Amino acid sequence: MLNKVPEVTLYFWVIKILATTVGETFADYLNDTLGFGLGGTTWVMSAALAVALAAQFRLSRYVPGVYWAAVVLISVVGTLITDNLTDNVGVSLVTTTGVFAAALAVTFAAWFAVERTLSIHTIVTRRREGFYWLAILFTFALGTAAGDLMAERLALGFATSALIFAGGIAAIAVAHFRFGLNAVTAFWAAYVLTRPLGASIGDYLSQARADGGLGLGTTATSLVFLTAILGTVAFLSVTGVDRTERAVEPA
């Protein structure tokens, strides 16, 4: 197998943030605008994610369209997991944030104990790929809970929350490039923070002005960001600038 994850370039982070924004707004679009309800939306998107992951696991190399489709869908499902726990079960955002942080930590610990690495440059076995996607799911669920906790429970608002998370990512970048923070640690820390950043941006654009947003609605916001994702993925598919061509031996 060739490495199943793209190179971490600017394109990677752009699509990741776009995907996290869509994860927030598209879930709301299906749930509220189309009237699927939280339960119906969860079943539909979980089924779509299962199909996307099945296609991803069958491949022996990174294919931009399949990989990023799985990321967008897992973003939506991660959002729905947190929303179901909060809205249907009544679990507080403080609790869900703590639970998903613990679940992510356990996933990383198990991954490292078995594989001795958390690097995304060595996703060359099915087992590593399984750990990778499980970690991705928990980062999205955690990011949704943390974003909602900051914006709603702590009443900081969507715009302020987005600035705080963007500042956190900038601090990680400085720590890595200027002070030598380990690349794997920096990557996963930034990856977690892009989720609440994207969610805060999505809510700020789509929510009503009375709720602290710009009132663009989930339909328009989802359409704009999905179009941007499709355009960027099409560019990557043609150019291959984020592709790892050589096989990497497992450590």
Task: Give me the pLDDT at residue 186, please.
Answer: 94
248: left (phi > 0), else alpha (psi -120 to 50), else beta?
beta
Asked if residue 5 is part of any domain, the answer here is: no
Asked if residue 84 is part of any domain, the answer here is: yes
Stated length of the chain:
251
Task: Give me the pLDDT at residue 1, please.
Answer: 65
Asked if residue 107 is part of any domain, the answer here is: yes
Asked if residue 72 is part of any domain, the answer here is: yes
Read off the tokens for 191.
Answer: 């990856």
Read off the tokens for 175.
Answer: 């720590």
Per-residue pLDDT of the chain (251 residues; tens, 9 = 90+): 678 999 999 999 999 989 888 877 888 788 777 788 888 888 999 999 999 999 999 998 899 999 999 999 998 898 889 889 988 888 999 999 999 999 999 999 999 999 999 998 889 899 999 999 999 999 988 888 888 888 877 888 888 988 999 999 999 999 999 999 999 999 999 998 998 888 888 888 888 888 888 888 888 888 899 999 999 999 999 998 888 754 444 44
Going from the C-alpha of 61 to that of each of 27, 51, 65, 66, the distances in angstroms are 29, 17, 12, 11
- 16: domain range? 10-238
What are the respective helix, strand and coil percentages of the chain, to the nearest 5?
A: 80, 0, 20
Task: Give me the pLDDT at residue 245, please.
Answer: 58
Asked if residue 243 is part of any domain, the answer here is: no
Asked if residue 157 is part of any domain, the answer here is: yes
DSSP 49-117: HHHHHHHHHH-SS--HHHHHHHHHHHHHHHHHHHHIIIIIS---HHHHHHHHHHHHHHHHHHHHHHHS-
What is the value of pTM for the model shown? 0.88
Asked if residue 244 is part of any domain, the answer here is: no
DSSP state of 34: S
By CB atoms closer than 10 A (0-12, 13-18, 19+), residue 214 is: middle
Task: Give me the pLDDT at residue 251, please.
Answer: 45
Asked if residue 251 is part of any domain, the answer here is: no
What backbone phi and psi angles, to 5 degrees, belong to 240?
Answer: 65, 25
Question: How many domains does the structure of the chain reveal?
Answer: 1
